[in-house]
Structure 1
Amino acid sequence: MLLDGAVETLDISPHLQQIAVDRYEDVGTWLADHGKQWVIYAQGSFLLGTVVRPTTPTGEYDIDLVCKIPARKEDITQAELKELVGLELHAYRRAKLRNGDTDGPTSCESRRRCWTLGYPDLGFHLDVLPSIPDVTVPPTGLLLTDKQLRHWQCSNPLGYGGWFRNRSIELQTKLREAARAKNVNVADVPTWHVRSTLQRAVQILKWHAMLHFAHDEDNKPPSILITTLAGLAYRGQTDLFTATRSIVAGMPQYVERRNGRYWVENPAHAGENFTDKWNEYPDRRRAFADWHESIATTLGTLARSHGHGLHNVVATLEKAFPGSNAVRASADRYGEHIRQERESGRLYVARSGAITTSATAANPIRKHQFYGATAPSSD
């Protein structure tokens, strides 16, 4: 409960999530109105529902998007594609300013692989990645630009999203329930509309890694690697702590050795290796191993703290996730929940001695009736 409550405070709110969707759909609409048969959609953690607020000074959410252009690699270079998308995004921003619209981006900046549209007042920015179809991986494969690499880079974010969705029966069930409630097709319900145990476990691992590598950004494992290993190791548990501990224990078995090279294959794009950099930079592999040992140790310590008091659990979590009030906020909220349950007579003591809200437990906990040294007057 503490882990779930803590990571929930770092999650993007449904309101802000919808604003972000409105903003990038507005870009797509503007492009369509200007004769561009381009498609813009979410990828990465925003698509998967595993966003975690960063610990950077601005604390802005980083929302990754794909801008797919119907072109062939024989007809356009990476540099031309990058420039073409940039010209249109700059034109979009100028049009917003010219019309006096207040919902446009405040900036449009070039990055290594993408263009970044800034919305600092809203607390997020949009990273727009130029791409073209990869005809060898239909229908969702992509070829991407990269200023530092000569060859086109491959990706398949929609295919990966489908794989991640299918790794959790719980997630599929929640999506079906959401679809029935909205009277729409399951495919029309974005994965980020719900939060499953697998999604929360991935958020916890990403949060821990973000803090662990706060001063060593170059060696921080990519989110896609953590997410893939978590998805492979997940065994369907619905208790968050049990699931996270099981995932961490199972992650190493999915790191292969192929012809002497470390290998974690993209489940949506055969041949793409998420640990390719480990073979070039051994320090990154060792850094991952150190992080993995750290989170495993933390979870083991938490498991052994069962029955030793809430304050010990909170202390362990605050040490593992430093520099954030997420754990403390979760503990305070949990304490308030317990107080309300006790005051309403819905809190019980099980025969094992554990506190529970189950009415099948042996004895109810009586309403709080002590007031310190002096009891209140009966007047």
Structure 2
Amino acid sequence: MANADMQVEQFLQALLDELAIPESRYEQAETRYKSLGDWFHRDESAVRGFDPAVYVQGSFRLGTAIRPINDAEEYDVDSVCELKKLSKNDLTQFDLKQLLGREIKAYHDAKGMTKPVREGRRCWILDYADGAQFHMDVVPALPNGAEQRLLLERANYDARWAETGIAITDREEPTYTVPTTKWPRSNPKGYAEWFKARMAAVLARRKEMLVESLRRRGVTASVEQLPDYRVRTPLQAAVMLLKRHRDNMFARDPDLKPISVIITTLAGHAYGEEDTIAGALLSILERMDQYIHHVGSKYVIPNPTDPFENFADKWEKEPGKAQAFSARMGTALTDRAVRKISGSGGGLLRAASVAPAAAVPSFGNAPRVPTTPKGFA
């Protein structure tokens, strides 16, 4: 690696060290959702017989969580409670949410938590004590893998991630209180596996390098036992940088801020297994617009594990979101990083900052026909 490129990489690594959440936060999140799972399995639990499984989802699961932008914001740990021995034929969305809500409120009281349990659109929210800067969203869910597989196979979509599909509650759905099998769908485990597959080779190499480093220091370790969050790949690093760039660029226009799953999905598709953070950013900036499809006035960013779900579904009715994404999620981040390093260096990162227009998502009048997202077989 040339000296200028090495400076860029060192600078980006220093940025990430500031953005990254401490390992203790990952451990804290794991302790909290395991504690909740233990509560659901206690003898007196009303849901124990339904085999409840609590697991984390979102950025904590993907290894792309970043520090809150200020002390007023909190770490948002998204989790799921899946009742594996219930089906959509057994109860309504409302019934499931209330059943789990009573147990969560009992947990809240038993643990002496002071802030009240809040109800979100799709979840229950546990707020931890002042100073913890931490809250947990708990989404009630039921297994939906078999139905998800059938749905995708009928449409000739890749169903490799379908087995972990879940049905979730949403109080804004017209059928929220009605017996029906048509529930909102999700698949956080499947999405995490897709994301991990996009960086599998690099992740394996980095885990092996860390294990060797630990062994040289006399620490017994193995790749199998090493948690994924102990290693950060260039893809994860790029997503973290782009998310913070997003936070800064949309600080005054939070309603236009692109959701994290859009950034993560486009980055996952565009990543080319680069071994450096700068290389990953360059690849993503150059290619991510290829995975934003345009049919008429409709923008389409399919969920890689469920192409029936469009992550950009709000962009059609709110075109300002699409325009803001194009204008603010381009090369400004790399420009700023290069200026901070030197006036003449830059290497790969400088190449990204002066890349042609195609490197920045553009939404012209040319029609785009949805294709199977890359990352499918």
**TM-score, normalising length: structure 2:** 0.73
Q: Secondary structure at the match of 1:280?
A: coil
Partner deviation per Cα, 1:53-108 (whole Å, 9 max, x = no partner) = 222552321111011123222222222222221111001111223xxxxxx57442
**In the alignment, which residue of structure 2 is the partner of 1:165?**
196
Q: In structure 1, which of residues 88, 96, 99 is the aligned counterpart of residue 111 of structure 2? A: 96
Counterpart residue type for residue 21 of structure 2: I
Identity of aligned residues (%): 36
Q: In structure 2, which of residues 69, 79, 95 is the aligned counterpart of residue 55 of structure 1? A: 69
Tell me how far apart the structure 1 counterparts of residues 230 and 97 of structure 2 sit (CA, whole Å): 31
Residues 257 and 263 in structure 1, CA contact (< 8 A), matched pair in contact too? yes
Residues 166 and 172 in structure 1, CA contact (< 8 A), matched pair in contact too? no
Note closer, same or farther for the CA distance 1:81–1:265 as it changes in structure 2 (3 Å cut). same
Instruction: Verify: 1:208 aligned to 2:239, yes or no.
Output: no
**In the alignment, which residue of structure 1 is the partner of 2:326?**
289
**In the alignment, which residue of structure 1 is the partner of 2:354?**
none
Note closer, same or farther for the CA distance 1:40–1:176 as it changes in structure 2 (3 Å cut). farther
**Structure 1 residue 307: deviation in Å?**
4.5
Partner deviation per Cα, 1:21-60 (whole Å, 9 max, x = no partner) = 1111011011111325211101010000000122255232
Say which structure, 1 or 2, has more relative contact order (CA 8 Å, 6+ apart). 2
Tell me how far apart the structure 2 counterparts of residues 224 and 127 of structure 1 sit (CA, whole Å): 17
Tell me how far apart the structure 2 counterparts of residues 107 and 179 of structure 1 sit (CA, whole Å): 43
Instruction: Verify: 1:156 aligned to 2:187, yes or no.
Output: yes
Counterpart residue type for residue 274 of structure 2: Q
Counterpart residue type for residue 126 of structure 1: M
**In the alignment, which residue of structure 2 is the partner of 1:46?**
60
Which of the two has higher C-alpha Rg? 1
Counterpart residue type for residue 320 of structure 2: D
Residues 165 and 172 in structure 1, CA contact (< 8 A), matched pair in contact too? no
**Structure 1 residue 122: deviation in Å?**
2.3
**Structure 1 residue 162: deviation in Å?**
0.8
**Structure 1 residue 229: deviation in Å?**
0.2
**In the alignment, which residue of structure 1 is the partner of 2:97?**
82
Instruction: Verify: 1:308 aligned to 2:323, yes or no.
Output: no
Residues 245 and 333 in structure 2, CA contact (< 8 A), matched pair in contact too? no
Q: Gaps (5+ residues) in structure 1?
A: 98-103, 311-379
Tell me how far apart the structure 2 counterparts of residues 192 and 306 of structure 1 sit (CA, whole Å): 28
**In the alignment, which residue of structure 2 is the partner of 1:324?**
none
Instruction: Verify: 1:73 aligned to 2:88, yes or no.
Output: yes
Note closer, same or farther for the CA distance 1:306–1:90 as it changes in structure 2 (3 Å cut). closer
Instruction: Verify: 1:32 aligned to 2:41, yes or no.
Output: yes
**Structure 1 residue 16: deviation in Å?**
2.3
Residues 178 and 189 in structure 1, CA contact (< 8 A), matched pair in contact too? no
Partner deviation per Cα, 1:236-270 (whole Å, 9 max, x = no partner) = 22221232132122111111134663211111223
Note closer, same or farther for the CA distance 1:32–1:176 as it changes in structure 2 (3 Å cut). farther
Tell me how far apart the structure 2 counterparts of residues 5 and 53 of structure 1 sit (CA, whole Å): 14
Q: Secondary structure at the match of 2:141?
A: strand
Tell me how far apart the structure 2 counterparts of residues 26 and 126 of structure 1 sit (CA, whole Å): 12
How many residues are treated as equivalent by the alignment?
301
Tell me how far apart the structure 1 counterparts of residues 280 and 114 of structure 2 sit (CA, whole Å): 39
**Structure 1 residue 185: deviation in Å?**
7.4
**In the alignment, which residue of structure 1 is the partner of 2:165?**
141
Q: Secondary structure at the match of 2:125?
A: strand
Tell me how far apart the structure 2 counterparts of residues 233 and 174 of structure 1 sit (CA, whole Å): 20
Q: Secondary structure at the match of 1:68?
A: strand
